[in-house]
Amino acid sequence: MVFEIVAHCYLLCVSSGSAIDRQSNNVSLFNLVEQINVPPNTPPPPRGLIPVEIHAYFQLSQFHVQREFELRFALRAESGLETLSEVFRHRVTAPRFRVRTLGLPYPPVLGQYTLQVDLRVLGERMSGERVIGDRLPAEDGAWQRQTAAWPLALYEIEQRPKVTH
């Protein structure tokens, strides 16, 4: 069976904010996040999302330009437990693309995690590829887990009392 990697995620990170320069189209990331401290007995945030930005940058072959993709983010615990984000659909119009998503899914258990991204291509066949039925092997509904990963720790931490002098 022929199975082609449809895209390569070359950067994946979590930040507290970002800005895009209108002239150069360059992105500035603010406060890269590797640890989130949660006060004891705090309920999950609204909509079950931690208010941070996820940035993912991809490169793909010319064959996959002008195709629709779906992607999702996976927060994977050391135990193997995964918390998945909602699925986002994109139409890619260039060989490189970037995705900024607001909100990280809140996992059911605090601890050490690795953030990764899954991707799958949608749509019609491309010439020269082996087809099973009328679908490409990469389009059989299977998600492709990208190797890029971002470490993230969620800890329950007592807040320090305010110091007053």
Token pair belonging to 33:
């996040």
Place of tokens 């491309």: 126
Among residues 113, 31, 40, 33, the alpha carbon closest in space to that of 78 is found at: 113
pLDDT value for 32: 97
- pTM of the predicted model as reported, rounded to 2 decimal places: 0.81
**Could you give the CA distance from residue 109 to residue 83 in angstroms, rounded to a whole number?**
10
Place of tokens 């059911």: 108
Map out the domains of the chain as residue ranges: 7-156
**Could you give the CA distance from residue 62 to residue 112 in angstroms, rounded to a whole number?**
37
DSSP strand pairing (150-156 vs 144-145)? unpaired
> pLDDT digits over 109-141, tens only?
999 999 999 999 886 444 444 444 444 444 446
pLDDT value for 123: 66
**Interior angle at CA 74, CA 70 and CA 76, nearest 5:** 160
pLDDT value for 135: 43
Token pair belonging to 151:
């470490």
- DSSP assignment, residue 154? E
Among residues 87, 104, 102, 85, the alpha carbon closest in space to that of 34 is found at: 104
CATH class of 7-156: mainly beta
> pLDDT digits over 135-161, tens only?
444 444 689 999 999 999 999 998 777
